[in-house]
Amino acid sequence: MKTLDTLRTTMRRDQVWEIMVPKTGLELDISHGTILYLEDISVTFDGFRAINHLNLYIDAGELRCIIGPNGAGKTTMMDIITGKTRPDTGTAWFGQSIDLLRLSEPEIASLGIGRKFQKPTVFEHHSVMENLELAMAADKRVWPTLLARLTPEQHERIDGVLETIGLQEHRARRAGALSHGQKQWLEIGMLLMQDPHLLLVDEPVAGMTHQEMDRTAELLKSLAGRHTVVVVEHDMDFVRSIANKVTVLHQGSVLAEGTMDEVQNDPRVIEVYLGGGDGH
Ligand SMILES: Nc1ncnc2c1ncn2[C@@H]1O[C@H](COP(=O)(O)OP(=O)(O)OP(=O)(O)O)[C@@H](O)[C@H]1O
User: Tell me: the pLDDT tens digits for 201-217?
Assistant: 999 999 999 999 999 99
Q: Is the pLDDT of residue 72 over 90?
A: yes
What is the phi/psi pair of residue 90, to 5°? Answer: 105, 180
Residue from 70, 203, 278 to probe ligand 1 pocket by mutation (most atoms less than 8 Å from CB): 70
Helix extents (H) in the chain = 3-12, 74-82, 105-110, 128-137, 152-165, 180-192, 210-223, 236-242, 260-264, 267-272
Residue 79 pLDDT level (bands cut at 50, 70, 90): very high
Residue 280 lies in a domain: no
- 219 CA from centroid of ligand 1 (Å): 28
CATH code for the domain of 146: 3.40.50.300
Neighbours of 163 (CB within 10 A): 11
b/e for 228-237, b at 16 or more Cβ within 10 A? bbbbbbbbbe
Across the chain, what does the average pLDDT equal? 87
- 74 CA from centroid of ligand 1 (Å): 8
Tally of structural domains, the chain: 1
Q: Cβ distance 51 to 254 under 8 Å?
A: no
Residue 163 lies in a domain: yes
Q: Which residues pair with 247 in a beta bridge?
A: 66, 257
- 239 CA from centroid of ligand 1 (Å): 21
- 274 CA from centroid of ligand 1 (Å): 19
Residue 184 lies in a domain: yes
Residue 164 lies in a domain: yes
- 75 CA from centroid of ligand 1 (Å): 7
Residue 63 lies in a domain: no
Q: Cβ distance 86 to 105 under 8 Å?
A: no
Task: List CB contacts of 183: < 8 A, sequence separation 6 or more.
Answer: 120, 122, 175
What order do you get walking across the sheet with 34-45 strand by strand?
Answer: 48-59, 34-45, 89-94, 98-99
Q: Which residue owns the Cα nearest ligand 1 atom 12?
A: 50
Please state the pTM of the whole predicted model.
Answer: 0.88
| Predicted pLDDT of residue 88 | 97
**Average pLDDT score over residue span 32-37:** 97
Residue 110 lies in a domain: no
Residue from 38, 66, 76 to probe ligand 1 pocket by mutation (most atoms less than 8 Å from CB): 76
Neighbours of 74 (CB within 10 A): 23
Domain containing residue 156: 1-7+119-195
- The helix/strand/coil state of 230 is strand
